[in-house]
A and B are shown apart, each in its own frame.
Chain A
Amino acid sequence: MRSLGILDRRGLIFIVLVLAAGVLIPLANLLAPAGSPFHVSDYLVPLLGKYLCYALLAVAVDLVWGYCGVLSLGHGAFFALGGYAMGMYLMRQIGPRGVYGNPVLPDFMVFLNYKELPWFWLGFDHFAFAALMVLVVPGLLAFAFGWFAFRSRVTGVYLSIITQAMTFALMLAFFRNDMGFGGNNGLTDFKDILGFSITAGTTRGALFFASAVALAAGYLLCRALVTSKYGKVLVAVRDAESRTRFLGYKVANYKLLAWTVSAMLAGVAGALYVPQVGIINPGEFAPANSIEMVIWVAVGGRGTLVGAALGALVVNAGKTWFTGALPEAWLFALGALFVVVTLFMPRGIIGLWGDLTSRLRKPAGPVPAPKPAE
């Protein structure tokens, strides 16, 4: 199956499934009558859309963790920054329909006695500018952070800790009312996006479709990166960083590219997430969220991209079910998942599936797949 070059069979199935879902689920919501077995409820569409955003985020985390060996405990920061950029656009779209009726200032600014829009809010009334910022802000932060960290050869646990410090610092900053991002409450009460009402079924469907397309595109981009020559060096960095450096590769630059692309993908995921859930607040920066993202990747299968997306879907579907049915048990289940996956499923669901199928074909026992080193 070499039709698309960068796609293997698994990737092709994934792309087809995601795009099919992106078309069919909104259609099933809008066209099928409420009683029909094909109907997808209004509640389910944004929920599934949220999962797609998480899946894109997981693909981004997998690019740096699975292929570059950088365990980021701060990807929630990039996700939230993308979300805030979109949130700022949506806030500006409210216009004079806010509680205080101010045509320029969002409600929380009126409430906090702002006289005029802070400079960093300028331009966010244009969708194109906001969309650019969704990429630029997380990308710039990641570039600056990675520039320093990778050049100083901060690796392993130390790198994980400082990424966590980064998202923690941002969380504290965004919780401040003086920052001009709505403080504690974040940004919410959105009315419309690009002129369409944000609660309308068609808008929700379109957002869902956009999320599916973004996931597919993000996957293709990552896949293109990791199957290229660049990707081979990236894997070499992951498995033997010092050796790759001794061979003459500029390790820091290789890491920096993957890191920045990953942050921008996370930003896009955040931007698509916000209009579907209707709120963005500093809680998204919480370090615990970022750690949870890593476990999505681990559950699905680190270093497989498809597995990362799969893991995000499975874990979040589980979370939705547990918190509804057995709220007490959710943290037990999530905690156990962390332990079980790291102990018994180092290659996640994808790896388990691979083991099972090869065992069926060849009872003598599977050839152990190479294990990604730290």
Chain B
Amino acid sequence: MRLFRRLLSAALLLAAALLIAWAAPASVRAQTAGGDLAPALAKIAADSYSDTEAALVLLSASTNPQAGVIVAALSDGRLLVDPATKAVYVRAKAGDALADAATGAAVSVAPAGLKPVRLNNRVRRAAEAAAGALSLLAPDPAKRLEAAGAVFKSRDAAALPTLDAALAKETVPQVRDALQQAKAAILVTSSSASEADRLAAVNLVVARGDQEALALLANLPADAPASLKAAAANGIAKINRSLAIWSVAQNVWYGLSLGSVLLLAAIGLAITFGVMGVINMAHGEMVMLGAYTTYVVQDAIRTDAPWLFGWSLAIALPLAFLFTGVVGIVIERTVIRFLYGRPLETLLATWGISLMLQQAVRSVFGPTNKEVGAPSWMSGAFQVGQLSITYNRLWIIVFALLVFFALLVVLKRTSLGLYVRAVTQNRRMAAAMGIRTGRIDALTFGLGSGIAGIAGVALSQIDNVSPNLGQGYIIDSFMVVVFGGVGNLWGTLVGALTLGVANKLLEPFAGAVLGKIALLVFIILFIQKRPRGLFALKGRSVEA
């Protein structure tokens, strides 16, 4: 029964197809259904390069939605011609399904002897320009914006009518600007436009102010009038000035981004150092453990609850804080508290702990990098003027500042914070006032480690999650802490951001490595001048 039904439907389809093929030859149908496309398709069917190019010019001025499909198919080599009937077909991107070029209607039986329309470089360029012109009229503003950018680059005079049409009905200001710039680009380079128009166009191009505008003005046609050349030279100088400022701004942005990473890595170190006077060499490993917590959380989410993936970082944050905080308290209770008053030996012991933690993670998770994914709201980038800003960097800066101010509130507004500050400033006096300094040490160490853990969650987004993750940050964190000074969180903030920005501003002149060396030397010299850092605690209690 089922077999019978299938056979019947196949036969019916075949009959219908035959009927259509018989009733209306393709070229005729194109004229009736596609209207304005017919002359272009007739030219394409001739399959000579120059005819195809002419057809593209026709197509680019068309308002028929099918024109875009045809142009795209042509550049991909999916546009087929039946030499016998001169009918033009479009093959689907995937698979062999055929559609009539003029109407977009599916063709179930492929005629024999179909040949793809041939392409050469001229045709390809014309197809690109036509595609650009066509998408100028696309309903999606983002597409129109992109198309305007493409026309700006190609400066194809053929797009001018379409540009005017698009400008006439454009309502989005941003797209309108882009369209005007594209038009200006065409006018500047076309020798047929009037000199006044071209001069006005130069100003529009200068207003755009990016590398492409620069390229356009630098490559004016040789026959351009002198006034135009002078205006262009002026414009180039102007653009170069503004680009120089933008590039400094971009480097400052990179510097802030690096600074926020340093801040995240160093802030936990700063409070443990401030309170206990000990540099915790295992601090970097706490960052690493936080990053691995993120990996484990994401791994669990991937297998058990994929819909939660967007929340994975939010879930990992408290877990990382708790986990590394507990690890920190365990380290403090089992090792560090026996070494009070011997800061250098604590430094060695924590270094030993860091080696063991690294090897433990390597044994459990393997030595290779683990992949930590980014939720969708952290990927991508946007432009501010000539500044390119990626979302993950932006979020890390925001996050670092949030952590910083949260910690500031904890230290200034809670009783734990009060005790911590008391112990930092004068341990023995604090003990005499009834503060259990040992307990404060443990809690502070846990807090510092926990903050390192959440720093690890953030850093897992921009760095390789491997057992060596922490090693890369530990020296930089030291530098931030000794530069900023002990016992003052603002010092850490200023230190981190200063070092980050200075590093990135030095990079264009000195290169990445020399810039970093210069900074290290600077810090070594700075410590000579101010042995207790930028914001040192004043008073005798600091003297060891």
- Taking Cβ atoms with an 8 Å cutoff, the residues of A that contact B are 71, 145, 148-149, 151-158, 160-162, 164-166, 168-169, 172-173, 175-176, 242, 287-288, 291, 294-295, 298, 328, 330-332, 334-339, 341-343, 346, 374
Contact = CB atoms under 8 A, between A and B. Distances in A.
Interface residues of B, number: 50
Nearest to B476: A168
B475 A164 contact: yes
Contact of B524 (A71, A157, A162, A172): A162
B35 interface: no
Contacts of B478: 161, 164-165
B356 A336 contact: yes
B277 A157 contact: yes
B208 interface: no
A343 B345 CA distance: 9
B246 interface: no
A155 B529 CA distance: 13
Contact of B344 (A145, A156, A328): A156
A157 B532 CA distance: 11
Interface in B310-361: 335, 338-339, 341-349, 351-360
A168 to B, nearest CB: 5
Interface of B: 273, 277-279, 281, 335, 338-339, 341-349, 351-360, 362-363, 471, 475, 478-479, 482, 513-514, 516-517, 520-521, 523-525, 527-529, 531-532, 543-544
Nearest to A149: B528
**Which residue of A157, A173, A175 has the most chain B CB atoms within 10 A of its CB atom?**
A157
A152 B347 contact: no
A97 to B, nearest CB: 32
Given A148-B525, A154-B527, A331-B356, A342 B348 contact: yes
Given A161-B279, A165-B523, A287-B475, A148 B528 contact: yes
Contact of A328 (B359, B514, B529): B359
Interface of A (DSSP majority class): helix
A176 B513 CA distance: 8
Contacts of B339: 342-343
Contacts of A334: 352, 355
B280 to A, nearest CB: 11
A162 B347 contact: no
A72 to B, nearest CB: 11
Given A149-B528, A332-B356, A160 B475 contact: no
Contacts of B528: 148-149, 151-152, 154
Contacts of B543: 242
Contacts of B277: 157
B354 A335 contact: yes
Contact of A342 (B345, B516, B544): B345
Given A154-B531, A156-B544, A157-B277, A172 B348 contact: no
B344 A71 contact: yes
5 contacts: A152-B531, A298-B345, A335-B357, A342-B348, A343-B339
Contact of A71 (B347, B354, B471, B532): B347
Contacts of B359: 328, 330-332, 335
A332 B361 CA distance: 11
A299 to B, nearest CB: 11
B483 to A, nearest CB: 10
B512 to A, nearest CB: 9
Contacts of B335: 339, 343
B275 to A, nearest CB: 13
Given A158-B482, A295-B348, 8 more contacts: A149-B528, A152-B527, A154-B531, A161-B479, A162-B524, A332-B356, A338-B349, A339-B353
A335 B359 CA distance: 9
Q: Give 3 closest A-B pairs by Cβ, nearest first.
A: A338-B352, A335-B356, A335-B355
Contacts of B520: 165-166, 168-169, 172
A90 B517 CA distance: 28
A215 B273 CA distance: 38
A168 B479 CA distance: 11
Contact of A156 (B343, B471, B516): B343
Contacts of A169: 516-517, 520-521, 524
B166 to A, nearest CB: 53
B535 to A, nearest CB: 15
Contacts of B513: 172-173, 175-176
A145 B345 CA distance: 23
Contacts of A151: 528
Contacts of A346: 345
A164 B482 CA distance: 12
| Most chain B CB inside 10 Å of its own CB: which residue of A151, A158, A173, A295 | A158
B352 A339 contact: yes
Contact of A291 (B348, B360, B482, B527): B348
A83 B362 CA distance: 32
Contact of A165 (B346, B351, B475): B475
A234 to B, nearest CB: 17
A342 B344 CA distance: 10
Contacts of A160: 279, 344, 347
A334 B279 CA distance: 19
Nearest to A334: B355
A152 B527 CA distance: 8
A313 to B, nearest CB: 19
Given A71-B344, A172-B517, A157 B352 contact: no
Given A165-B523, A336-B356, A374-B343, A294 B279 contact: no
Contacts of B279: 157, 160-161
A156 B514 CA distance: 28
